[in-house]
Amino acid sequence: MNKTKLSPIVAGVMNWGIWDKNLNTKEMENMINVCLENKITTFDHADIYGDYTTEADFGKAFTASKIAREKMQLISKCGIQMVTENRNNTIKHYEYSKEYIIWSVENSLKNLQTDYLDVLLLHRPSPLMQADEIAEAVLKLKSDGKINDFGLSNFTSSQTELIRQKTEVLYNQVQFSATSFEPMVDGSFDYMQTNKIRPMSWNPLGSVFREDIPQTRRLKKLLATLVSKYHLGSDSILLSWILKHPAQVIPIAGTVNVARIQSLMKAVELELDNEDWFAIWTASMGDDVA
């Protein structure tokens, strides 16, 4: 049972720090406020973002903002061990011992300058993960009030079931968009709906605006028509396509463009016609449905 109600669209902060936009404390504080003003109240973190620096940068901005903690929800992920000057690793790997998960969450809490995470996700599956040990860590963190809910990220259905046999799994963050629709057709979303697991979608706009290939050309041509029909931007239409799926997918939007943030929630209000939804899928596939 979810303790936490997330916003229908989540702000992804991966690019807020040194990995991309390099926002300073004031700029980050402003971005938090812009999101909240536009009813995007959930922020998606991972310990590794910015080579383990973005959580702390966000924490400074959050504290400076003086925003009440209960007005937002914080997601973070752990488990990836990167090779960086901020960690003593010789090779990129995964770590899911009970001690490490607990330490990592406590470190994220310190960096984010908060007492609890609304949602903790394991970032990527490891062949060496032991479900019992993960469950013990989750139980300890919940009983100590350091996390409210628990989920996974980039886990297959069978990997999810392995963990779910030992502890409640409420989310799985996967790649899903009009150009990467595999979870919709490989059984992943069916499994999640059966087991009351909410999918989150990273990179929800896919490669539509990043690649010039036959697939994206077809989609852009169709989107030009739909923009005229619905009087909304292409990104809102693509998010609406995701939101229409009955698995109740939560898109994670990584933009720091204020105008785009202001328009994101319009996707929640838009009800795409069934034929337009299938037109987008068809344009992506390059073929009609069977």
Catalytic residues: 49
* Radius of gyration of the chain measured on its C-alpha atoms: 19
Report whether 82 contacts 95 (CB < 8 A): no
Q: Which residue has the tokens 């292409």?
A: 234
| Residue 11 bridge partners (DSSP) | 43, 253
At residue 53's C-alpha, the angle toward residues 50 and 57, to 5°, is 110
β-partners of residue 253 are 11
* DSSP E strand stretches across 95-197: 117-122, 147-153, 171-175
State how beta strands 42-44 and 93-94 pair: unpaired
**E-assigned strand segments in 144-231:** 147-153, 171-175, 198-202
Q: Which sign, positive or negative, has the C-alpha torsion 87, 91, 92, 95?
A: negative
Residue 84 β-bridge partners: 87
φ and ψ of 265, to 5 deg: -70, -10
